[in-house]
Amino acid sequence: MKEVLGWLLASLVGIQATVAIADDGSIEQLKAKAEQGNPEDYHQIERRAAAGDSMAQLTLALMLEEGRGVTQNHAKAFVWMQKAALAGNSTAQFRLGEMYELGQGVDASAEQSLAWYRKAADQGNASAQSKIGTLYAKGRDGVPKDLTLAAAWYEKAASQGDVSSEYRMGEIYEQGLGRPANPPLAQYWYLQAARQGFADAQNNVGVLYQNGEGKMRNYDEALRWYRAAAKQGQSMAQKNLGVLYEFGEGVPQDYMQAVFWYRKSAEAGNPVGQFRLGLMYAKGLGIPQNDGEAAVLFTQAAQQYYAPAQANLGALFAAGQGVSQDLQRAIVLYRMAAEQRDALALNNLAVLYYHGEGVPKSLVAAYALFNLSAAADPGADNRASKNRDDLAKTLSLAEKNAAEALSQELRIPHHFLDALDRINASATP
């Protein structure tokens, strides 16, 4: 009987002690005071964490991780985060997964990261479900790339309103990543994210409305969503607004408005915006014609490996417009853009091989490059197909066969520049 009474007394003491701790304030109140530099509140959180309170353990881990109210210490943060995670706290499980993924306070491990994300995800943690989707989408050591699994996990998170996962589902159905492409479903998921203010999704909704077929094409909606994204500084949306105004798609043609939006995009560092603004300077549309300004903007975009900018900058160096004439620099730029299948660069490089200007004369190389240019852009504005057909009339059967063979070789990934270098080495200057 005494043993029973002793047990009851110990239990009551434990209950009283727990109540006494709780009376000192909620975890959030203690955290707020501790972050303002009150050590007693921090120690109170420590005592609760040591007593097994998983919320206190999580709070302590977050404070140590972020260095708020205490010296930052990732190793200690990991210890407390692990305690909270083992106690079943889904937020701690998610954050522990992040720590393993980033190697923060512990050696990085994609497998451990996935395991802890999975524990949180199984409790319905949408952020963890989204992280699992990303791990499978990218593939990491110990986690094989699996787009089908990535889509399944993104969908779980998106169904709970996780905005980044809604956006990913839009990409999945737009590009056919792990699931068959489905434009209506892509639009549905992009819209879900866009309505939550996700700027990239707002831009993509605008693109779908601008480029859609039949009832899906709606310039008013495209304009509305581009404006919403552009207002948040989304540089592609700013560029897309410029395109609408430049070509008068859904709005009255207005070159000055086009320049305004291209400049916004360019100033944000967007290579397409820089290129489009450069074209406006080169053509003198909505702004005084200035090849020098065009060259500056083409250079900025070319440095980001944007092929149309490389090709157009090459044309300026070849002609000496806005820059000092430099044919060899033009050839370097043409080669960089041509390797990316830019039609203008391929055509202009072909012309140089045809005439033997800056490169050895080679009708075989000229034909092959005209052929690739025509395939890259079959539009009427591209003279490559006519240039190829005119050149074909002058070639022998052996030259024609060699040119067709070179065309095929130039199409092989990573073979383009090596094939041209071989032509340069073997051709007669």
Burial class (CB in 10 A: 0-12, 13-18, 19+), 254: middle
pLDDT digits over 297-322, tens only?
999 999 999 999 999 999 999 999 99
What percent of the chain has a predicted confidence (pLDDT) above 70? 93
- Tokens 């409305």 locate to 209
Q: What is the pLDDT of residue 391?
A: 95
Task: Quote the CA–CA distance of 368 and 232 in Å, as a whole number.
Answer: 45
Residues 258, 262, 267: CA angle, nearest 5 degrees: 150
pLDDT bucket at 3, cuts 50 / 70 / 90: very low
pLDDT digits over 320-348, tens only?
999 999 999 999 999 999 999 999 999 99
Residue 181 amino acid letter: A
Contact in structure between 173 and 183 (CB atoms under 8 Å): yes
Range of weakest confidence among 148-157, 291-300, 414-423: 414-423
Q: What is the pLDDT of residue 36?
A: 81
Using alpha carbons, list the distances in angstroms from residue 44 to 20, 51, 65, 75, 183: 11, 11, 18, 21, 55
Task: Quote the CA–CA distance of 11 and 7 in Å, as a whole number.
Answer: 6
Q: What is the pLDDT of residue 16?
A: 30
Annotate 301-335 with DSSP letters as a single string. Answer: HHTTT-HHHHHHHHHHHHHTSSS---HHHHHHHHH
Phi, psi torsion values for 352, nearest 5 degrees:
-65, -40
Neighbours of 47 (CB within 10 A): 13
pLDDT of 354 above 60: yes
**323's tokens:** 């820059």
Q: What is the mean pLDDT of residues 105-129?
A: 96
Range of weakest confidence among 56-65, 146-155, 157-166: 56-65
**263's tokens:** 């400049």
**81's tokens:** 């985060």
pLDDT bucket at 42, cuts 50 / 70 / 90: confident
pLDDT of 17 above 70: no
pTM for the complete prediction?
A: 0.83
Q: What is the pLDDT of residue 231?
A: 97
pLDDT of 174 above 90: yes
**30's tokens:** 């203690």
Radius of gyration of the chain (CA): 31
Q: What is the pLDDT of residue 14?
A: 36
Among 268, 269, 215, 265, smallest CA distance to 280 is for: 265
Among 429, 383, 423, 427, smallest CA distance to 407 is for: 423
pLDDT bucket at 11, cuts 50 / 70 / 90: very low
Q: What is the pLDDT of residue 20?
A: 32
Task: Quote the CA–CA distance of 132 and 46 in Å, as a whole number.
Answer: 32
Q: What is the mean pLDDT of residues 364-384?
A: 93
Q: What is the pLDDT of residue 18?
A: 30
Q: What is the mean pLDDT of residues 271-299?
A: 98
pLDDT of 37 above 50: yes
Task: Quote the CA–CA distance of 224 and 286 in Å, as a whole number.
Answer: 23
Helix, strand, coil content of the chain in percent (nearest 5) = 75, 0, 25
Residue 123 amino acid letter: Q
Range of weakest confidence among 41-50, 98-107, 167-176: 41-50
Q: What is the pLDDT of residue 1?
A: 40
Q: What is the mean pLDDT of residues 23-33?
A: 75
Which alpha helices (H) appear in 212-234, and where do they start and end?
219-231
pLDDT bucket at 19, cuts 50 / 70 / 90: very low
Q: What is the pLDDT of residue 25?
A: 62
What percent of the chain has a predicted confidence (pLDDT) above 90? 82
pLDDT digits over 194-222, tens only?
999 999 999 999 999 999 865 678 999 99
Total residues belonging to the chain: 429
Residue 429 amino acid letter: P
Residues 191, 196, 202: CA angle, nearest 5 degrees: 50
Q: List the domains of the chain with CATH numbers.
A: 31-123 (1.25.40.10)
* Cβ burial 106-145 (10 Å sphere, 16+ → b, else e): beebbebbbebbbbbbeeebbbbbbbbbbbbbeebeebee
Q: What is the pLDDT of residue 13?
A: 35
3-state secondary structure of 396: coil
For the chain, give the mean pLDDT: 91
Task: Quote the CA–CA distance of 411 and 389 in Å, as a whole number.
Answer: 19
Q: Residue 95 forms beta bridges with which residues? A: none
pLDDT bucket at 22, cuts 50 / 70 / 90: very low
**93's tokens:** 């499980």
